[in-house]
Structure 1
């Protein structure tokens, strides 16, 4: 699949910067903080190579990527103590392998239901984003 010229994960262009802030590099992927923070600590783990499906990875690549997803989710759990973490891997409109790591909190948005992709309700100051990113980094 060759969609690199249209993929913002590959291009790392303004479309990506409008939605996410890079937290750091993992073994096979990059972790980003989703700017819309209705779910405090929500991140995206994007595979570093341009593929769309898990089955496109060989066993070693799959193991490394899933370890990154696990590591990111564990860091979010340690940093923010959500009641549950939801995972989403859709890529219908953006063909690049990535997982949404979505912390869910009882009595909060979408508890007991599917998380909203982009509720558009909670945006933070630069300082608040930095605090969240630092909390995640401390637990990676």
Structure 2
């Protein structure tokens, strides 16, 4: 799709493409783009590379690849970072290209910041472009070694 933000990211046509962590034939993983500010470190997206709108549209290869990368990413977070839980969400009402939000909940996060509010915790690790790129590099190496 020519106007799809995620398709453009996969082609390297927007700044969000700078935050790639992993890619294979079926899926890609990107960190949330910090733009000119700061973002919650570890907020990543597992994106099906084929332009499809929802879960029911995945083929077997894509669903296996998504599951494998959810497991691998979560395992790395739990083993290598101060994380006590990893969330996955499919929201899908802003961008009609299937993508999964993978969000770690850092240790010490108060209950009111659990779930979809995990990234709102004011004391959570955050980073600017440089910090996110460093995080991406570390996470990429760990995921590829998993």
Label 1:105 to 1:117 Cα distance change in 2 as closer, same or farther (>3 A): closer
Cα distance, 1:79 vs structure 2: 2.9
Residue of structure 1 in register with 2:84 after alignment = 83
Length, aligned pairs only = 133
Q: Does 1:137 align with 2:140?
A: yes
Cα separation, partners in 2 of 1:27 and 1:18, compared to 1, 3 Å: closer
Give the 3 Å change call, closer, same or farther, for CA 111–73 of structure 1 in structure 2: farther
The gaps in structure 2 that reach 5 residues or longer are: none
Which is worse superposed, 128-137 or 33-42? 33-42
CA root-mean-square deviation: 2.8
Match 2:6 to one of 9, 13, 26:
9
Q: With structure 1 as the length reference, what TM-score do the two structures score? A: 0.76
Q: Relative to structure 1, is the Cα distance of residues 21 and 117 closer, same or farther in structure 2, using a 3 angstrom cutoff?
A: farther
Verify the 8 A CA contact 2:84 2:105 in the aligned structure 1.
yes
**Per-residue deviation at 1:118?**
6.9
Give the Cα separation in 1 of the matches to 2:16 and 2:28.
16
